[in-house]
Structure 1
Amino acid sequence: MKEGRRKGFWPLAIVFGLFVLFLYGPVITIFVLSFQGPEGGLTFPMRGWSLHWYRELWEGLGVVDIGAALRRSLALGAVVMVLTVVLSLLAGLAFRKKLVGGDLLFYVTVASLIMPSIIVSLGIGLQFRLLDGAIKALLEALGATSALENYTTSLGLFTSGLGAHLTWTLPFGLLIMFAVFNRFNPAYEEAARDQGATPWQTFWHVVLPMIGPSVIGVGMFGFTLSWDEIARSSQAIGDLNTLPLELQGLTTTVTTPSIYALGTVTTLVSLVVIALALSAAAWLNRRAKRRRG
């Protein structure tokens, strides 16, 4: 005889269903409304189905260069991803041994997660403005008139903007790598050394293949967190906006479903990155199983 559902099943199922609807409902709504016909508006009911607003997006939304903002966000996300992976991996390896001041360094790094993002952005923007003042004073003291006239600001996409995004992505990367190495069995490394492997060969042929899926996960977090970031970019990015900042600005000026088309495109980019990361992690797992088999 099959046992019936427990009494608490349906209330919990309803709560879970409402949670999923609350989480993904807005995304689905935006996706559907982006396919409105030429006479469609920002709300239901739908007025036809077409790709009209995607064509409008392709042609540009007023004075905003969506293509340039997209390229900036992709470039910044790629750099943030690489640096997050490299620094998190190196930190994970370093923290396997007892470090003087290691606990303090860890807590200082992770503290960035609990600080309000807008405060972090304001602080970074202020630091770079102070740096601008110092650079201008130095150029003036050196008599470099030409350089002083051409100098604008040190705020930019790959200076202050990059630093602001790393304050968000690095703590997540560190937490993942610490968890990975905390349960990593050093016996595999000892076996490799017994076979005459050098430290580099041990890392490349033993350690890295075993933690490869986690490294890919860190990279996925690095890119997607940078791709969607607004608050930490707002005061620290400089004169050139990323795509999320442009999207935020367009919400007050664009009153057509083209804004939904842009939102759908940005969401699809995130989903593609996640799909690639999961596929790469699955491939590494299959490869490791074949080697063990």
Structure 2
Amino acid sequence: MEKRPASFWWLTAFFCLFVLFLYGPTVTIGILSFQGEGGGLTFPMQGTSLHWFRELFQQQAVGDIWGAFRRSFVLGLMVMVTTVVVSVMAGLAFRKRFAGSGVLFYLTIASLVIPSILVSLGVGLIFGQTGLTVHWATSGFGAQLTWTLPFGLLIMFAVFNRFDRSYEEAARDQGATPWQTIRYVVLPIIAPSLIGVGLFGFTLSYDEFARTLLTAGSYNTLPLEIFGMTTNVTTPVIYALGTLTTVFSLIVIGVFLLTVWGMARRRARLGSDAGKGI
């Protein structure tokens, strides 16, 4: 067996340190959330138990954890659906050059480099000055779209740049209308990418803090609720909440990945059946 050079071990050690830096805080919070009833916010741990997870389901002295979770979940779904629909429509539109397309593209992408807190402040001011209610489902929804739509658009650009137009031409040769071509040819082919855009939209919205800070109105989303708890809660219940929200995020990602895997298997099975039919 060939001996590995010293650079391999240095790079391996660097990668391990990177992974530790990336996931170490999350693992630490997960460990501290299993402390006993007398546990505090730091090491050493005072026993182990599920006490603080049970406390999450009790009435808290401050805040509305589960109300904030429901709001974040609903807002994430709203942002996800809107991001997917608008990104697909924009991706289809940008397949053909039109007047002002370049300016429109750069204006859309520019929101990624504007500080998030300024976007939140600007959206909140617009709603306030026009007499509209500052609310997580309106102004908060709009502020978060400035974060998710550019990502969705960039993904769609990459997808359609690699898209084989011969599939559409074949559908038109068979008499399909433009809508039928999109529905039965284009959308099934790009479906895994749409799931990726949806995952981006949901997770970015679910975890967003800065763009929601000044646009959520009187009701907190979950990131705002957790931030508020850091100044009021002095028990590991906040760690238990962080652990559960992390697990929930991983479950969402897993569901999306399983969906993509199932679609790939179904497509392979249909292709195999079609080949046997020939």
Picking from 244, 258, 267, the partner of 1:279 is 258
Q: Which amino acid aligns with 1:37?
A: G
Greater shift, 200-209 or 117-126, is seen at: 200-209
**Equivalent pair of 2:62/2:232 in contact (CA under 8 Å):** no
Q: Per-residue CA shift, 1:127-161, capped at 9, x if unaligned?
A: 111112xxxxxxxxxxxxxxxxxxxx511112110
- Structure 1 equivalent of residue 276 of structure 2: none
Alignment of 1:54-93 (within 5 A): 54-93=53-92
Maintained 8 Å contact 2:148/2:204: yes
Counterpart check, 1:157 vs 2:156: no
- Give 1:126 shift: 1.0
Unaligned runs of 5+ in 1: 133-152
Contact 2:35-2:236 at 8 Å conserved across structures: yes
Q: Paired residue for 1:150? A: none
Residue 291 of structure 1 deviates from its aligned partner by 2.0
> Given that residues 68 and 221 in structure 2 are in contact (C-alpha distance below 8 angstroms), is that contact kept between their aligned partners in structure 1?
yes
Partner of 1:138: none
Range 27-36 or range 195-204, more displaced: 195-204
Which 5+ residue runs of structure 2 have no aligned equivalent?
A: 273-278
Q: Aligned to 1:257, which of 215, 228, 236?
A: 236
Q: Which residue of 2 aligns with 1:21?
A: 20
| Partner in structure 2 of residue 145 of structure 1 | none
Q: Distance in 1 between matches of 2:264 and 2:191?
A: 9
Structure 1 residue 285, shift from structure 2 partner: 1.3
Residue 292 (structure 1) shift = 2.0
Q: Does the Cα contact within 8 Å between 1:156 and 1:239 map onto a contact in 2? A: yes
Which secondary structure state, in structure 2, belongs to the residue aligned with residue 8 of structure 1? helix
1:87 alignment partner AA: V
Aligned match of 1:206: 185
- Structure 2 length-normalised TM: 0.95
Q: Normalising to structure 1: TM-score of the pair?
A: 0.90
Report matched runs for 1:1-293 at 5 Å.
2-132=1-131, 154-293=133-272
SS of equivalent to 1:59: coil
Letter in 2 for 1:178: F
Which segment drifts farther, 190-199 or 77-86? 190-199
In structure 1, how many angstroms separate the alpha carbons of the residues matched to 2:187 and 2:65? 38
Code of the residue aligned with 1:33 in structure 2: it is L
Provide Cα deviations, 1:226-246, integer angstroms capped at 9, x if missing partner. 000000000111111101101
TM-superposed deviation, 1:167: 0.5
Q: Where has structure 1 moved over 3 Å in runs of 4 or more?
A: none
Matched positions, count = 272
Q: How far does residue 99 in structure 1 lie from its aligned partner after superposition? A: 1.6
